[in-house]
Amino acid sequence: MHPLVLLAKQAVEEYVTKRRIIPVPEELTPEMKQKKGVFVSLHKGKNLRGCIGTFMPTRKNVAEEIIYNAIAASSEDPRFYPVTPEELPYIEYSVDVLEPPEEVKDISELDPKVYGVIVEKGFRKGLLLPDLEGVDTVEQQLSIAKRKAGIWEGEEDVRIYRFTVTRYH
């Protein structure tokens, strides 16, 4: 298991079983030292069980982003009940480390297998990670991201950004 994924797993297990937040490891891998946005996704079988993240860094380093986003994915994702101790053996983890987003001028610059998207209108923002099962077209990707942001289909003046990730399983 990759060290970033192991850190997410340890953070969730400690929080779910003891309600404690693990400390940032003393020895950090090069990836953990970076300052980037991070998403942590939890799956149980083929089903999403939680996914929370930050598209821009909000903490000191990637290690800290992983710890807090993993805990939030297990306990604060509004789409799901908090993960229970009984579920822990069945949870699979993935960590996406995001590169800074860049604005796109035309949707021809998008590819849902390569780029994640952020849509923005005023204070409303929606994000969708790249290479998700069942999201095969740019139109699907944008539609889902807009729904997440509360932006209606057909609304004008929506800013679109793309980003790449390094995904760890």
Give the tens place of pLDDT for each residue, 19-54. 999 999 999 999 999 999 999 999 999 999 999 999
Q: Is 9 part of any domain?
A: yes
Same domain, 70 and 118: no
Mean pLDDT of 61-67: 98
Nearest to 129 by CA among 107, 147, 150, 114: 114
Cβ neighbours, 10 Å, residue 158:
18
**13/139 Cα distance (integer angstroms):** 37
Query: In whole angstroms, what is the distance from residue 57 CA to residue 102 CA?
Result: 15
Counted domains in the chain: 2
| Separation CA 2–CA 168 (nearest Å) | 7
pLDDT on residue 74 = 98
155: confidence class by pLDDT, cuts 50, 70, 90: confident
How does residue 153 score in pLDDT terms, banded at 50, 70 and 90? confident
Statement to judge: residues 66 and 136 lie in one domain = no
CA distance 38 to 124: 20
Listed residues 98, 123, 152: the one ending a domain: 98
Q: Are residues 23 and 70 in the same domain?
A: yes
Question: Which residues, including other chains, have CB under 8 Å from residue 39's CB and lie 6 or more apart?
Answer: 51, 52, 53, 54, 69, 95, 96, 98, 129, 165
Tokens 């604005």, residue?
103
Express each pLDDT in 118-136 by its tens digit. 999 999 999 999 999 999 9
User: Tell me, what amino acid is at 120?
Assistant: E
Mark whether 42 and 23 lie in a shared domain.
yes
Q: Flag whether 83 is in a domain.
A: yes
Q: Residue 68 maps to which CATH number? A: 3.30.700.20
What's the domain range around 118? 102-163
In terms of domains, do 33 and 84 share one? Answer: yes
State the pLDDT at residue 85. Answer: 98
Please check whether residues 86 and 107 belong to one and the same domain: no
Q: Are residues 87 and 127 in the same domain?
A: no
Same domain, 82 and 112: no
CA dist., res. 158 & res. 169, Å (int): 33
Share of the chain above pLDDT 70, in %: 100
**Any idea of the CA torsion for 64, 65, 67, 71, to the nearest 10 degrees?**
150
Rg (CA), the chain: 16
Please say if the pLDDT value at position 156 is more than 90. no
pLDDT digits (tens, 9 = 90+) for 89-118: 999 999 999 999 999 999 999 999 999 999
Question: ∠ CA 117-123-124 to the nearest 5 degrees?
Answer: 45
Per-chain mean pLDDT for the chain: 96
Examine the fold and report which residue of 80, 98, 116 is the final residue of a domain before the chain moves on: 98
List residues bridging with 166 in a β-sheet. Answer: 97
Which amino acid is residue 154, in one-letter code?
G
Residues 87 and 108 in one domain: no
